[in-house]
Amino acid sequence: MVSKLKAITILFLLEIITVVTCACIGGYQQPNRDIGIIKVTGSGSEEWCTMIDSYEDDYAESIIQTSDRGYAIAGTMALKGAVDPHPRLIKLTSNGTIEWDQIYTHLEDRLNKAIQTPDGGFIGLTYHRNLLLKIGSTGVFTSQIDSNLTEQYFPPHIINIPNTSTRIDCPVVQISNDFFVFACFTWDSVYNSGYGFDGKPVTLLFMNNSGIITNKVTISSTGTWNDIINLIPTYDGGYAILVTRSSWERDVNPYPKRCDDPAPPPPK
DSSP 94-137: TTS-EEEEEE-TT--S-EEEEEE-TTS-EEEEESSS-EEEEE-T
- How confident is the model at residue 104, as a pLDDT? 93
Q: Are 96 and 37 in contact (CB under 8 A)?
A: yes
Those residues with Cβ within 8 angstroms of residue 91's Cβ, 6 or more apart along the chain or in another chain: 66, 70, 71, 72, 73, 98, 99, 100, 101, 139
The whole-number average pLDDT for the span 134-156 is 74
- 159-185, pLDDT tens digit by residue? 555 555 556 668 888 877 778 888 888
Tell me which range, 29-38, 222-231, 249-258, is most confidently predicted by mean pLDDT: 222-231
- 73-101, pLDDT tens digit by residue? 999 988 766 667 899 999 999 999 999 99
- 38-79, pLDDT tens digit by residue? 999 999 999 999 998 877 888 899 999 999 999 999 999 887
Q: What is the pTM of this model?
A: 0.79
At 25, the pLDDT band (50, 70, 90 cuts) reads: very low
